[in-house]
């Protein structure tokens, strides 16, 4: 199935396949934070994130969200539609946390009246700067209509995800999505959804996500395992 390595990222390796329209994403046992400054091998993380992301994307597909997810191939691999990634990190926040709290000098954990969507320009050498819709247009990343669609889709995905996590006793604080264009130019959800790119707090305020690694709060695979076990309780 796998042919040649297309791209090696921080958390995944992407392989071409004999089908031009499909790629294999291989999840790695590697954790990074602070734009790669903190980097460690974490045994079992690739399997957990592939399992979690596969389950979530399958549910999103079933709920009518267009995604790149085709099928889970093995513990650490999944088959995805090949897309041209739109170089935006689309962050949605339900509660204050992380860079939002730092930037605006507010405590973490304050519920936002309306979820806030933010854009970051995906460019490692610039450290993924915070940008607005007008910068997105200037940089020719997406048209006005495409920006509106991405925001609307992100809010729709938030509605689904927030209710699924609520069902298993977790609060979805914030998350990051990436979108891509498929062969027909349609914008679909790509990349992954795992505790690496969202914040999940349990009822006691425990961090069930990558903040465990970023902030040195314990073993990340212990909390990812709990998230994975809880998610399997969903239909």
Contact status: 77 vs ligand UDP (CB under 6 A): no
Burial-class residue 196 by CB neighbours within 10 Å (0-12, 13-18, 19+): buried
CA gap 86, 109 in Å, rounded: 30
Q: Determine, following the binding rule CB under 6 A, whether residue 198 of this chain makes contact with ligand UDP.
A: yes
Q: Does 119 bind ligand UDP (CB under 6 A)?
A: no
Is there binding between residue 199 and ligand UDP (CB under 6 A)?
A: yes
| Residue from 175, 193, 224, 228 in contact with ligand UDP (CB under 6 A) | 175
Q: Which member of 91, 150, 157, 190 binds ligand UDP (CB under 6 A)?
A: 91
Interaction between residue 76 and ligand UDP (CB under 6 A): no
Site residue total, ligand UDP (CB under 6 A): 14
**What minimum distance in Å lies between the beta carbon of 205 and ligand UDP?**
16
DSSP 124: G
Does 99 bind ligand UDP (CB under 6 A)? Our answer is yes
User: Quick check: 191 and 15 in contact, CB under 8 A?
Assistant: no
- What is the C-alpha R_g of the chain? 17
Does 163 sit near ligand UDP (CB under 6 A)? no
* Residues in contact with ligand UDP, shown as a per-residue x/- string from 208 to 227 under the rule CB under 6 A: --x-----------------
Element (DSSP H or E) covering residue 18: none
Quick check: 132 binds ligand UDP (CB under 6 A)? no
> For residue 226, what are its two tokens?
């709990």
Per rule CB under 6 A, is residue 197 in the interface with ligand UDP?
Answer: yes
* Residue 43 and residue 222 in contact, taking contact as beta carbons nearer than 8 Å: no
CA gap 166, 172 in Å, rounded: 8
Distance CA(228)–CA(233), nearest Å, equals 9
Q: Which residue in the set 77, 153, 174, 192 belongs to the binding site for ligand UDP (CB under 6 A)?
A: 174
Q: 88 Cβ partners below 8 Å, 6+ apart?
A: 119, 120, 121, 122, 136, 141, 142, 150, 178, 179
- Closest to ligand UDP by CB, 77 or 89: 89
- Interface residue list for ligand UDP (CB under 6 A): 89, 91, 97-100, 128, 174-176, 197-199, 210
């Amino acid at each position: 199935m796998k042919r040649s390595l297309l791209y090696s990222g921080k958390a995944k390796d992407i392989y071409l396949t004999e089908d031009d329209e499909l790629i294999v994403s291989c999840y790695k046992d590697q954790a990074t934070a602070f734009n790669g400054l903190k980097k460690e091998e974490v045994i079992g993380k690739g399997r957990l994130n592939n399992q979690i992301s596969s389950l979530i994307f399958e549910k999103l597909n079933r709920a009518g969200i267009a995604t790149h997810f085709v099928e889970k191939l093995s513990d650490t691999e999944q088959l995805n539609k090949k897309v041209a990634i739109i170089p935006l990190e689309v962050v949605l926040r339900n509660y204050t946390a992380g860079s939002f709290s730092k930037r605006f000098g507010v405590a973490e954990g304050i519920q936002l009246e309306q979820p806030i969507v933010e854009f970051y320009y995906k460019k490692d050498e610039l450290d993924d700067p915070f940008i607005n819709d007008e910068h997105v247009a200037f940089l020719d990343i997406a048209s006005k209509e495409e920006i509106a669609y991405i925001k609307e889709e992100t809010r729709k995905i938030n509605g689904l995800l927030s209710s699924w996590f609520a069902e298993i006793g977790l609060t979805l604080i914030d998350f990051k999505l990436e979108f891509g264009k498929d062969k027909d130019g349609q914008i679909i959800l790509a990349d992954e959804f795992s505790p690496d790119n969202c914040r999940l707090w349990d009822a006691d305020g425990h961090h069930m996500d990558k903040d465990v690694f970023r902030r040195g709060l314990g073993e990340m695979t212990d909390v990812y395992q709990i998230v994975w076990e809880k998610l399997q309780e969903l239909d």
